Amino acid sequence: MKIQTEAGQEYQLLYKIYQILQAAADRLAAFAGRVEAIRGGFPEIAVMLIYAAAHLGMAAFHEPFFDEAEAWQIARCVSLKTLIFETTHYEGHPPLWHLILMPLAKAGAPYELSMTLVSLVFMGVSVFLILRYAPFPRIVRLLLPFTYFYFYQYGVISRVYCVMVLEFVLLAMAYKRRNEKPGRYVAVLMLLCMTTAYGLVVAGGLALVWLWEIWDRKGLRGLVGRYGKDRRIWWLGLLLVMAVCVILLIMPRENTYATAEVDDIRNPFWVRLLYMIMILPADVTMTNVYGEHLTLSWAFLQMSTLVSGCIVGALIWFLLLYYGKKKKTVLLCVLPYSIYALFSAAVYVSLHHTGIGLLYLCFWVWATVETERNVQKDGEEIRGKLEMPIKCAAILMGTIALGVSLFWTVASCRLDIDKIYASGREEAKFIKEHHLDQYRMMSAWSVSHDEKGNIQHVDINECDRAVNIAPYFDHNIFMNFNEGKDDRNYVVHIRLTEEETQKTYEVWRKEGAPQVLWMNPDLMTVYGGSVRGADYVLVYQAPAEMIWKAGTDYLESKIYVHRDLLEETGLQKIAIGR
């Protein structure tokens, strides 16, 4: 009797919690209804104006970091021939973003303003189309543009992902009529292939889903027998040709830095795949399991956060698949996303790449809402015991996801205003003010060590953060940055052999010892004991904090000059650790 009483009390408690949650969901739905009932387009016009103003306002505070600078420098330095036949093999990205930037970069347009305006154009068009055509509740359409990935990570930070946002929106708009107007749909898929390797694999997944739908309706005999008359097959064939061309463009060379073997990976493949499949949908909406600027292979993932991420991710997947089953779009959800997840886990993924998963799921929701297919009988709605609880859960989780993402936007913008995101702008200002670019400057490069502290490998071409400074000068100011060549004033990602490295060292020695150092280059390896770090004094030191959601990763910027130059430059020594 006691056990039955306790069971009854637990049931009553759960039922009371459900009633509270349902009441909250009803209030949220009622509020959304009131927003929907507002007449006219004033809310949409206000959102467009606020979005543009906020985007431009944040651009005044945001300091572009090395990925933004790298793209600009490539567009500025290389020829079209070099971009197509060389650079893409080392960058690992198709050339679309560089082609967009190239006219501005080569014309000498202002670096930061140009990047901001290009990003605003793509994101502004995306926001307009979302407000005008997205089949979401009005409150969602009004708030979505200000969520973290749509506003800050893929908006304020000017990278190729602003193009991907627009492409996924156009893809959603074209999806419903893909069979009647296949050319429009395939054209967007082709553009998606031209943005990143991730866009390529997602486009491939969407093509496979479409091909399966055609096959499923016609069967193998009908597909083969009528391929010459079905425009969709011809368009898919054209897409395949485009995809093969893109793959050939980005196929890495043997001496590409990205193909180097890496030992002692922290997270094995199964952990990375678990994250990409189960946790990512939660991590781009309401959790922060993976939150540091390292590749997923090296990120610190705690077991407790992995478990919590899996739980939230499982709830999200349950809602997505439940809704997808009703609309018969489960394959559209699962197959392309799984290919994207598998590729990312097996090849490469970093923090900012996770948002691509969110873009795809938003596309899927849009396409699913607009689909006319439904598992219904005689036009009647499915009514089951789980229908109302699931609807309640969807409203509450959707509200939490929007709220958390909006909080991330506010937090990241506040951090960007208060802190230095990347040091390039301030470093360039300091260098120009004291005319340090007139001296022989040397930047630090990548040096990896083993567990005992011994040098394992040296990559003298990997001067990632030094490229932050490059867009602010009309020439290459570093003697060691690709031999000081102006047409190679970016990170080339070419991994030199030991023999090539030693030959480069010899060239540096002939040029003479550097007079100015950016960070701490390995002087001992190059010059032996003839040039020592003790010969240089610290004259500039500033923090840089890369922002992710509501947190930052600390990076430090330092500039040293030779002791003999202190009086000549008018600089003063800064105490170490100041």
Digit-coded pLDDT (tens) for 277-313: 999 999 999 999 998 888 999 899 988 899 999 999 9
In the numeric block, the tokens 């597909």 are attached to 223
pLDDT digits (tens, 9 = 90+) for 102-128: 999 999 999 999 999 999 999 999 999
In the numeric block, the tokens 């093509």 are attached to 207
pLDDT digits (tens, 9 = 90+) for 13-36: 766 776 777 888 788 888 888 888
**Contact (CB, 8 A) for 496 and 461:** yes
The reported pLDDT for the residue numbered 449 is: 60
The reported pLDDT for the residue numbered 498 is: 87
| pLDDT at 451 exceeding the cut of 80 | no
Q: What backbone torsions phi and psi does residue 299 show, to the nearest 5 degrees?
A: -65, 150
3-state helix, strand, coil in the chain (%, to 5): 65, 10, 30
In the numeric block, the tokens 């708009």 are attached to 173
Q: Cα 171–287–196 angle (5° rounding)?
A: 35
Enter the tokens of residue 142.
């009004």
**Contact (CB, 8 A) for 471 and 72:** yes
Q: Domain spans of the chain?
A: 10-175, 424-569
DSSP string, 209-262: HHHHHHHHHHHHHHHHHTTTT-HHHHHHHHHHHHHHHHHHHHPPPTTBGGGS--
| pLDDT at 268 exceeding the cut of 70 | yes
What's the full length of the chain, in residues?
Answer: 578
Give the span between the Cα atoms of 283 and 275, in whole angstroms: 9
Share of the chain above pLDDT 70, in %: 89
The reported pLDDT for the residue numbered 101 is: 98
Segments in 88-181 forming alpha helices (H) = 88-91, 96-106, 111-133, 138-143, 148, 161-175
Residue 96 exposure: Cα atoms within 13 Å on the Cβ side: 19
Q: Which range among 302-306, 409-413, 457-461, 561-565 shows the weakest confidence by mean pLDDT?
A: 457-461
Question: Who's near 372: CB < 8 A, 6+ residues apart?
Answer: none
- 555 closest CA partner among 467, 465, 436, 456: 465
For the chain, helix (H) and strand (E) counts, in that order, are 23, 6
The reported pLDDT for the residue numbered 265 is: 81
User: What confidence tier does 7 reach under pLDDT thresholds 50, 70, 90?
Assistant: low
How far are the Cα atoms of 19, 266, 424, 444, 524 from residue 515, in angstroms, in the given order? 72, 39, 20, 14, 15
User: What confidence tier does 379 reach under pLDDT thresholds 50, 70, 90?
Assistant: very low
pLDDT digits (tens, 9 = 90+) for 180-210: 999 999 999 999 999 999 999 999 999 999 9
The reported pLDDT for the residue numbered 360 is: 98
**Contact (CB, 8 A) for 495 and 255:** yes
The reported pLDDT for the residue numbered 432 is: 96
pLDDT digits (tens, 9 = 90+) for 212-251: 998 876 665 555 555 567 889 999 999 999 999 999 999 9
* pTM, full prediction: 0.93
How far are the Cα atoms of 4, 314, 332, 485, 500 from residue 440, in angstroms, in the given order? 84, 56, 57, 14, 22
What is the pLDDT of the chain when averaged over all its residues? 89
Question: Who's near 393: CB < 8 A, 6+ residues apart?
Answer: 21, 315, 319
The reported pLDDT for the residue numbered 378 is: 43
pLDDT digits (tens, 9 = 90+) for 47-102: 999 999 999 999 999 999 999 999 999 999 999 999 999 999 999 889 999 999 99
